[in-house]
Structure 1
Amino acid sequence: MTRGKKHMILDQVCTRSAEVIERELQGESVLLDLNTGIYYSLNPAGGFIWRMLDGARTVREIVDLMVAEFDVDPETAAADTVELVSDLLEQKLAGTERDGA
């Protein structure tokens, strides 16, 4: 991912798709995309990021919360958060303000 794209994502406000159900199962978050029937599994950090995609915070703010919640340095938290959010956006499990989310 280019540096410019990373910064664009960090400044985005994202929200979970209404077409995705999330449940915790054995310490992991399991997502079900109601449109495709595909299940996704997220580790505890991924589940935390998922729950923070509430349409009220930028991805950058979520990174700050990750650093406070988990034993992770800011650079790693930013890289991991941007990667997951990018994947969620690509799979249409989340959207941005630009998408009309």
Structure 2
Amino acid sequence: MWLFSAIGLFGINGLLLFATIFRPEQVIEAYNNLYGMVFIIESFVLLPLLYFITAVEKIKSPDWKGFMILSLQGSLAFSIPFSILYWSRDKDEQQLIK
């Protein structure tokens, strides 16, 4: 477990810290990008859900059914805003063509 924690801290989160400190213009560009914001919003949607499951429900690790439910919720948290954005862009393009 310590290995996975270290990979998460220095690997994934380390990249974010590096970009925030040394390349802040790229981080600002990600915040202004709609697709980037979908990923950021998804993480903030799933974070309270996972806190609730582990803290309130006293579940240490989900079984396969729980894992499937969490995976589907994560997919929905990403796909719903992405689909709305995609559909709204299609409507805008169709109006421009007419």
TM-score bracket relative to the smaller structure: under 0.3
The structure with the largest alpha-carbon Rg is: 2
Instruction: Give the alignment's TM-score, normalised by structure 1.
Output: 0.27
Return the structure number with greater strand share: 1
Instruction: Give the alignment's TM-score, normalised by structure 2.
Output: 0.27
